[in-house]
Structure 1
């Protein structure tokens, strides 16, 4: 057994003073869908509803072992890492300064405060995470506090490897396949390091959100690079730059083993798991399950473990998730209709709707010409194919329209 494997197992054993192993559960619904043996490693059921508590615990344990007099720890995070650090600070009886962006949802702030109690102080600094991070690091330099990175730290990676330690013990063998979400790379690099150290013969696929593929970009460049634009919808994994320490491990990954999960498709997965299985996952937590459809027949008959990395879902986002899921499935569309300015025109248009078509949005934008007006219309259908028939009827009756469902610029301003 290598030194890394021994350290990861020791870290896992130490964590039992903090929380029990998260469950590894076979999922009958997914197993039947993909004709495979699908297991979920439920990190969404940790005390802070994500795996981040593992890395925070291990890193803090190491720092305190080096200097038991250390009393102040700092992190910058808008989500799961902040909650993990807060929980661990309370456990060890040390002080924590949690830097969060001013724009952080109140729910996440309150949960971090609840986990940390009197042990932590929350500082809201900056509109963007980069500003928050800079403020946290500046505070560390001034105060001599210890900065706890969310992923770019070998001790954090070692702590996240405890996911693999538990998984192999619970399954009793190495699975045929493992699907891991990737953000900054702490979880994936830790788990892959443990698999390599123990000789586990498992094929691993890594999944990034389509709007934040920092690992794929780093593999193409041969080194970590900063993405110019990141879609923050999958906030637990939308990282502009993969960590340097994790990339030392992940840099050997075959680019073909890195999958991209479209944000709107992830919403379909979130909705299905909630409605069918009663499992509440945040967008990053659904990445691994969402990627199953990209593997399809390749996993038939195999044992597959998906790591559900987090369940800190703010239910105020549920309408957005539902909306994006419907748009991905093609059952909701938005278009701008050129409506004739005459009596009965609206009635004529309504007569074109099918029995399963429902108007979810209707808004006059402006009178674009003397005889016509522009109308923003949102329609929900029972089936995506219903729209083709509707648009055919509209064209036959002379109603001009423009589908703006996938037009990011117009959708941002109008929808």
Structure 2
């Protein structure tokens, strides 16, 4: 979508060459091209002139006559738009609070302010690709440090819920980065940080939504971290035990997901994801307390997030489970598999295409013994930043 827009505006005067799998890689290549060819590099955010252009958005807000506002929420990527918005609005409305919003795994400005200088992040999530910046600029850091009143971080699920809110209220579908400001406001509102008489502005900027991403956004928007929980329950392997568990749930509790596969283990351990409305919370807590010996909260665990396929752990010798994140393009994961194929065997593999720019797979690797696992651990995790974007361990206790 972005490439088509660039070509539409530039026509025959523009050529596009895609290099790298991240903004940082592309910027490095662009700087090198400019050096070799005597061309001018136009920074995407760390430039007074670029920031001034982004600041025209704030000028439109001021001249609209809708202000003044008490709070303004603005997404932060490299920090250009946030800097310009804060500078212009605070010069017009000195008492306004400007709150920057970053993704939990994209918080490069928050890290810079905490450490006193721009620093590169080791890992940057790209769900909100328009704000996926490894390191903020020197100029934008100084502006945001001095002008932002606060930075709030939001999860991908909270951003997805904000996209849904935009659709429900405005029939608008922003890209994830465009919905971050509303996600930040909603987080503060739910935490009781917004006064009843405060006038709020959230900046919606960005409509480059890929159609393939809708399914993942829709799924995450349906997750309420305050009400949706996942549990494993111990039940005997006998007729009616699973039905008895389900029918014993308190009234009002909805089953969102159920994962169960018969294994050689005893007792059996089905996994239920359930939604507990506010009116049913008290009764559900009592029910869980009565069943605490057979229930385990596994919300957010690997088995819940990846819908782990039933298997028999007794067949594994020394397993290591890892979550591998890689660019969603042909051959991207193959490099990782080739790099480790000589030291381990694959005993589990779970992957589903979600429409994101990155793919994620849960992979079980089995070693001949614990000593072999210890020897080769660094080789496995050392693939992060080389053949794949990230390799994170998933504890075996979260899976079986």
Classify the TM-score, shorter chain: 0.5 to 0.7
Displacement of 1:186 in angstroms is 0.4
Q: Give the whole-Å Cα distance in 2 for the aligned partners of 1:366 and 1:132.
A: 49
How far 1:116 sits from its partner (Å)?
4.9
Provide the TM-score with structure 2 as the length reference: 0.64
Superposition deviation, residue 151 in structure 1: 0.9
1:151 pairs, out of 45, 57, 73, with: 45
Work out whether 1:263 is the aligned partner of 2:156. yes
1:349 to 1:220, Cα distance in 2 relative to 1, 3 A: same
Distance of 2:246 and 2:203 partners within structure 1? 47
Distance 1:287 1:414 in 2: 28
Output the CA distance in 2 between the equivalents of 1:210 and 1:156.
26
Structure 2 residue aligned with 1:342: 238
Hey, what does 1:305 align to over in structure 2? 201
The change in CA–CA distance for 1:230 and 1:411 in structure 2 (over 3 A counts) is farther
Residues 168, 404 of structure 1: alpha-carbon distance in 2 compared, 3 angstrom cutoff:
same
Identify if the C-alpha distance between structure 1 residues 172 and 286 changes in structure 2 by more than 3 Å, giving closer, same or farther: closer
- Classify 1:402/1:324 alpha carbon distance in 2 versus 1 (closer, same or farther; 3 Å): farther
Counterpart of 1:180 in structure 2 is 74
State the SS of the aligned residue for 2:260. Answer: strand
Return 5+ residue gaps in structure 1 as ranges: 1-106
C-alpha contact 1:364 1:375 (8 A) present in aligned 2:
yes
Map of 1:283 onto structure 2: 176
Q: 1:245 to 1:397 in 2, by over 3 A?
A: closer
1:110 Cα shift?
Answer: 5.0
Question: Following the alignment from structure 1 to structure 2, what is the Cα–Cα distance between the partners of residues 413 and 174?
Answer: 46
Contact 2:74 2:98 survives alignment (8 Å)? yes
The CA deviation at 1:200 is: 5.0
Matched, 1:362 2:258: yes
Contact 2:98 2:147 in 1 (8 A): no
Partner of 1:351: 247
**Structure with higher RCO (Cα < 8 A, 6+ apart):** 1
- TM-score (normalised: structure 1): 0.62
Name the structure 2 match of 1:314.
210
CA distance in 1, matches of 2:145, 2:167: 35
Other structure's SS at 1:378 match: strand
Name stretches of at least 5 consecutive residues in structure 2 with no aligned partner: 309-400
Q: Secondary structure at the match of 2:87?
A: helix
Partner of 1:242: 136
Give, in whole Å, the separation in 2 of the partners of 1:173 and 1:209. 27
Q: Deviations over 1:293-312 (max 9, x none)?
A: 42656554344332112232
Q: C-alpha separation between the residues in 1 aligned to 2:256 and 2:56?
A: 47
Render the CA deviation track for 1:163-195: whole Å, top value 9, x for unaligned: 122221112764343322211110011223334
Paired positions, count: 305
1:3-42 alignment to 2 at 5 Å? none
Distance (Å, rounded) in 1 between the aligned partners of 2:4 and 2:282: 47
The 5 A counterparts of 1:85-100 are none
Shift of 1:232: 2.8
